[in-house]
């Protein structure tokens, strides 16, 4: 039985792809083309890449004899050229707009330019703090992105809630010290005791004092 969401926090930190933005068709299509070109195991690649920076996945699956940075640059260019089918995860926009007055950040494994394009394509507001791949020394599952976001928002990680959909991102949220919530259907040993929501439509926001809110389902 999934754990219900009922948390009081002072800041909200969102992952992007798979959490706020449904970009699955374009992401899987691009990785499928990569697998065809370089002979990678596509199912293993998709499992590993979900939630991680592109360079980390390329370094793991690119065969010798190729320049990983050139390959990553080509993948980034391809991603930025494809916005068809990118959409918000149900309820994401409404929740973000309802959080007026509460510090909000997006912490993504995507490059900043791609993150901004996908957020706009999905019709989502851009928060004042967006921590992208180029802003951290290590990508998820490192907690560096979430720690940076909390610092930029002026909040201790323990005052924050993280919404994530992928194993690497969930590990990053937990390691940061923030309360961490699973969005969607991902299951692993890591998710067993975490609150879970299928999307954002059923989340209620209840004021809980100055600059604090209670999020419940």
DSSP label at 62? P
What is the separation of C-alpha 134 from the centre of its chain, rounded to a whole number of angstroms?
Answer: 15
DSSP label at 216? E
Which residues carry out catalysis?
Answer: 15, 17
Beta bridge partners of 8: 214
Residue 70: Cβ-neighbour burial (10 angstroms; 0-12, 13-18, 19+)? exposed
Nearest to 19 by CA among 92, 95, 114, 125: 92
DSSP letters, 73-113, are HHHHHHHHH--TT-EEPTTHHHHHHHTTTS-EEEE-SS-HH
Round to whole Å and give the CA distance between 167 and 13.
16
Give the chain's count of helices (H) and strands (E): 8, 11
């Amino acid at each position: 039985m999934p754990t219900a969401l009922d948390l009081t926090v002072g800041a909200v930190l969102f992952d992007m792809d798979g959490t706020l933005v449904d970009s699955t068709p374009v992401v899987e299509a691009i990785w499928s083309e990569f697998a065809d070109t370089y002979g990678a195991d596509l199912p293993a690649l998709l499992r590993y890449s979900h939630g991680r920076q592109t360079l980390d996945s390329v370094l793991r699956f690119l065969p010798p004899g190729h320049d990983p940075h050139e390959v990553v640059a080509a993948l980034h260019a391809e991603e930025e050229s494809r916005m068809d089918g990118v959409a918000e995860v149900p309820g994401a926009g409404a929740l973000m707009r309802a959080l007026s007055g509460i510090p909000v950040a997006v912490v993504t494994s995507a490059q900043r330019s791609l993150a901004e394009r996908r957020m706009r394509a999905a019709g989502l507001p851009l928060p004042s703090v967006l921590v992208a791949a180029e802003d951290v020394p290590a990508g998820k599952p490192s907690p560096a992105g979430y720690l940076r976001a909390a610092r930029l928002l002026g909040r201790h990680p323990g005052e924050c809630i993280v919404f994530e959909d992928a194993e690497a991102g969930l590990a990053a949220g937990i390691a940061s010290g923030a309360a961490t919530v699973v969005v969607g259907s991902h299951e692993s040993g890591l998710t067993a005791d975490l609150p879970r929501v299928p999307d954002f439509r059923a989340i209620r926001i209840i004021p809980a004092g100055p600059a604090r809110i209670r999020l419940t389902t």
